[in-house]
Structure 1
Amino acid sequence: MGPVVHSATVVLTMDGPPIPGGNVTVEDGRVVAIGAGRGEVHWDGVLVAGLVNAHTHLQYTCMAEVGQRVYDSFEHWSEVFNRAYFKGGEGTWDPAERAGAWDWRAGALDGAWQCLRSGTTSAADIVTDPEAFVDTPLGGLPYLEIIGDTDASWIADGRERFLATLGGRNAGISPHSPYTLDTGVLADSAVLARERGTRLHIHLAESAHEREYTISGTGPLAELVSAWCAPFALLRDGGSGLAPAAYLDSLGLLGPDCHLAHGIYLGADDRALLRERGTTIALCPRSNRVLGLDGPDVAALLAEGNPIAVGTDSLSSSPSLDLLADVAALKELAVRQGHRDPDLDRVLIEAATLGGARALGMEGEIGVLRPGARADFALFDVDPREPYRSLAENGAGRCVATVVGGKIIWAL
């Protein structure tokens, strides 16, 4: 099949200024040219490079009921989530005990299509249960999660089991968090990722009590971990004396090949460390609201130049997988926090495209339209006169078509 030219009222390539009456020429799944003029396939509205969801767990789409309320704290949500995950039982994170609890494959498939129908064409999808590795048009990178291992269990059979599950898959590695894994396991996850030449992704600073946990091994989060009967070194040794970001850095996790999810409770020193390491933070403000948490300090992150991306998290902690709804929430937070940059809308749409691509190590491949990039884009029925603003404020629920690899995979 020869080249196909898609045009729209305005085109946002994320590689330059908006192009009124712009077009994108596609051949063999790639962008071959950007120009102006009406194409054989014309769309009314805004055509934008495919959105990149930098943090989600699509398998939990089947647990959406958990995300339809607001909780008192991260710890409260965790208790409810765990009961639902194990269907009311007292299971552990041992894969053998988790098997068959939910139809994770169906959840992942449903979640992927919900993303695609809202204009997301790539995602950083954390897979906890291997049934959730599914084949869909959604691009990006899946990450196999490590969760619950002590140093002893990791040495005994956890590492071997994890590597067997990972196999030859093109997947990143996601050590869950500083409070669900032992110190040696966290350090070894970074070693494994770099030996395999793949990416790292980890939750950080989502709980208001995470700092107390990593510094002194005490507090509500420590009590929750103790209830899981996880004899981690931080609990035994009275903490590490380090704040969460510094703790991960001491174990070798931080770097440009690693991105974090949430980053709500970061101080200026934490943010400076992450900037120094080139570590992107995927912000998920609607999930934070569901858990009864503060929002991230968007204004400070932007003013200081931290690289950011945007994520939805999963339906077990968020009302939808529509990434632009999180962009709107981030704008609301930034303005409330005093951010007055007139380019805020553009910066946030860049975070939802270019920022996500950077987080996944796929810059120039996704989240942008330029010759050689994947021909992934979405069309939105929003006001083309102020495209960045209309997408940032009103884009949620307004996707009318999604194109992946040059193929229209969904359209109203």
Structure 2
Amino acid sequence: MLTLHSAPIVLPVVSEPIGDGAVLVDGDRIAAVGPRGQLAAEHPEAREHAWSGVLTPGLVNAHAHLQYTDFEELNSIDEPFPVWLGRMVAKRPTFTEAMWQESARRGLRLMLAAGTTAVADIVTEPEVLEPTAQSGIAGISYLEAVFEDAQSWSDSGRARILAALADAPVGRTLGMSPHTPYTIATAVFADCVAIARARGLRTHTHVAESEAEVRYVATGDGPFADDMLRFGKAMELIRDGGSVLTPVGFLDKIGALGPDVHAAHCVHCDASDREILRSRGVYAALCVRSNRILQAGEPPVADYLAEGSPFAIGTDSLASSPSLDLLEEAATLRDLALVQGYDEFDLDRRIVEAATLGGAAAMGLTDVGRLDQGARADLAVFAVPTLDALTGAEPGEVYAALLDAAAAKMHQCVATVLGGTVVHDTQS
């Protein structure tokens, strides 16, 4: 059955905004995008959903931990990242398999209600894969290796990851996530990347999130080294007194970067680091609100923009973020770019692109984050206060209106369509 989703403004992202536009959906795919009048005349049999708002592609969250949705109280403890991490580690054993699954389900509901239809999800507990697959949300679930040295990896860690890869639920693509250079041994990190590449899977890691990480990688000491020693982990960087490299430089040295990889945070990245990421085709998944809550610093988004460095946007988890609303995250990132001095005319458009096309590219996906023929029928509709004024507006004004509304928290997600099915609707 054909369905026509129409709206006063359709924002395909891959092409100019369309006033009084529509998206024709056939099953789970987009059949056409164009003026409503034309598509309705060509397909009179199509059932119409007439939405009030700006119709966009479903948003693509490039970094999240759905299983930690019910760790929400940790986002308000007002402690620096190493202390926060200790609190998280202490809370983990209190959760059962059922609790992990319900936590992930709640996160999925929150994302869909905010217009996110694809996610790069870090998975430490494989039991959350099933509810994620059942939700139908697009994207990749990255199985995480964390707190592993060579001994624990050999004893059980590697086998656990391989078993989870072999038991992937139908409908969910998997990848690998070696957590960070400070929570897994260098040899383990390299093995995770090798496992992924041998199977044609993508890799997603955290890198350059905090100053404590920068110190650990460079000199092998500091709070993260203390933690690893307390847990009895034998780490090469501690043994060798560090690498005298930045986190990005270190991962590049061990061959862990490439176009099959995207990296979360990338806060403490200088021009040399950013050039490495750019030359290796690595997208940075920027999570500015999480960085602020964890007192980790702020990503140099103005530099990423000015240099043409590829980046996407993630919310991280509710354990370190005020919401899973990606449009609010995008608005915060836009405002940070302005504070950092980037005020070019293309700013709003590029930030919205990062929340759609950027997230898709970070995961190597070509059929999400866009309204285009053949793409997945993932749509979001946002109510914005200035909707009436956008009729006949310049393209840049439409992007700005979306972000301005999100910055003011006046951007209600009216509807979300996932693979052609309406899964969130406040208009009916």
- TM-score, normalised by the number of residues in structure 1: 0.94
- Aligned-pair distance for 1:354? 0.1
Paired with 1:147 and 1:306, the residues of 2 have a C-alpha distance of 28
Paired with 2:208 and 2:20, the residues of 1 have a C-alpha distance of 43
SS in 2 for 1:21: strand
Determine whether 1:79 maps to 2:86.
Answer: yes
Distance 1:102 1:220, change over 3 A: farther
- Aligned-pair distance for 1:68? 2.8
SS in 2 for 1:342: coil
- Aligned-pair distance for 1:223? 2.2
2:368 alignment partner in structure 1: 366
- Aligned-pair distance for 1:168? 4.5
Deviates further, 74-83 or 271-280: 74-83
Paired with 1:70 and 1:307, the residues of 2 have a C-alpha distance of 31
Are 1:12 and 1:49, in contact at CA under 8 Å, matched by a contact in 2?
yes
Paired with 1:146 and 1:15, the residues of 2 have a C-alpha distance of 36
- Aligned-pair distance for 1:157? 3.1
Deviates further, 231-240 or 387-396: 387-396
Determine whether 1:21 maps to 2:32.
Answer: no
Residue of structure 1 aligned with 2:116, choices 110, 113, 120? 120
Paired with 2:229 and 2:179, the residues of 1 have a C-alpha distance of 17
Greater helix proportion:
2
How many residues in Structure 1 have an aligned counterpart in Structure 2?
A: 398
Paired with 1:231 and 1:333, the residues of 2 have a C-alpha distance of 39
Per-residue CA deviations over 1:51-102 (Å, capped at 9, x if unaligned) read 000000001011111113432x211211222222234xxxxxxxxxxx7287
Question: What is the letter of the counterpart of residue 242 of structure 1?
Answer: L
- Residues 113-262 of structure 1 aligned to structure 2 (within 5 Å): 113-133=109-129, 134=131, 135-169=134-168, 170-262=173-265
2:416 alignment partner in structure 1: 402
Determine whether 1:265 maps to 2:268.
Answer: yes
Paired with 2:422 and 2:26, the residues of 1 have a C-alpha distance of 13
2:399 alignment partner in structure 1: 388
Paired with 2:68 and 2:3, the residues of 1 have a C-alpha distance of 37
Are 1:14 and 1:350, in contact at CA under 8 Å, matched by a contact in 2?
yes
Paired with 1:102 and 1:177, the residues of 2 have a C-alpha distance of 27
Paired with 2:105 and 2:311, the residues of 1 have a C-alpha distance of 27
- Aligned-pair distance for 1:342? 1.4
SS in 2 for 1:209: helix
Gaps of 5+ in 1: 88-98
SS in 1 for 2:298: coil
SS in 1 for 2:135: coil
Are 1:74 and 1:206, in contact at CA under 8 Å, matched by a contact in 2?
no
Q: Compute the RMSD of aligned alpha carbons.
A: 1.4
Paired with 1:167 and 1:370, the residues of 2 have a C-alpha distance of 34
- Aligned-pair distance for 1:21? 1.1
Are 1:32 and 1:372, in contact at CA under 8 Å, matched by a contact in 2?
yes
1:91 alignment partner in structure 2: none
- Aligned-pair distance for 1:218? 1.5
Paired with 2:317 and 2:186, the residues of 1 have a C-alpha distance of 26
2:29 alignment partner in structure 1: 30
SS in 2 for 1:375: coil
Question: What is the letter of the counterpart of residue 4 of structure 2?
Answer: V
Are 2:120 and 2:363, in contact at CA under 8 Å, matched by a contact in 1?
yes
Are 2:97 and 2:127, in contact at CA under 8 Å, matched by a contact in 1?
no
SS in 2 for 1:13: coil
1:100 alignment partner in structure 2: 96
Paired with 2:162 and 2:314, the residues of 1 have a C-alpha distance of 27
2:377 alignment partner in structure 1: 375
Question: What is the letter of the counterpart of residue 103 of structure 2?
Answer: G
Identical counterparts, % of pairs: 45
SS in 1 for 2:15: coil
Structure 1 segments (4+ residues) deviating >6 Å? none
SS in 2 for 1:301: helix
Residue of structure 1 aligned with 2:51, choices 39, 43, 47? 43
2:347 alignment partner in structure 1: 344
SS in 2 for 1:23: strand
1:306 alignment partner in structure 2: 309
SS in 2 for 1:197: coil
Question: What is the letter of the counterpart of residue 410 of structure 1?
Answer: H
1:90 alignment partner in structure 2: none
- Aligned-pair distance for 1:411? 0.5
Distance 1:119 1:221, change over 3 A: same
Per-residue CA deviations over 1:29-65 (Å, capped at 9, x if unaligned) read 1001111025522112100001000000001011111
SS in 2 for 1:313: coil
Are 1:30 and 1:372, in contact at CA under 8 Å, matched by a contact in 2?
yes
Distance 1:60 1:256, change over 3 A: same
- Aligned-pair distance for 1:161? 2.1
Per-residue CA deviations over 1:91-125 (Å, capped at 9, x if unaligned) read xxxxxxxx728710000011011000000000001
Question: What is the letter of the counterpart of residue 390 of structure 1?
Answer: A
Determine whether 1:66 maps to 2:66.
Answer: no
Are 2:210 and 2:297, in contact at CA under 8 Å, matched by a contact in 1?
no
- TM-score, normalised by the number of residues in structure 2: 0.90
2:293 alignment partner in structure 1: 290
- Aligned-pair distance for 1:316? 0.6
Paired with 1:209 and 1:111, the residues of 2 have a C-alpha distance of 29
Are 2:81 and 2:210, in contact at CA under 8 Å, matched by a contact in 1?
yes
1:92 alignment partner in structure 2: none
Paired with 1:393 and 1:264, the residues of 2 have a C-alpha distance of 24
Paired with 1:317 and 1:166, the residues of 2 have a C-alpha distance of 28
Paired with 2:5 and 2:96, the residues of 1 have a C-alpha distance of 44
SS in 2 for 1:256: coil
2:334 alignment partner in structure 1: 331
Gaps of 5+ in 2: 41-47, 391-396
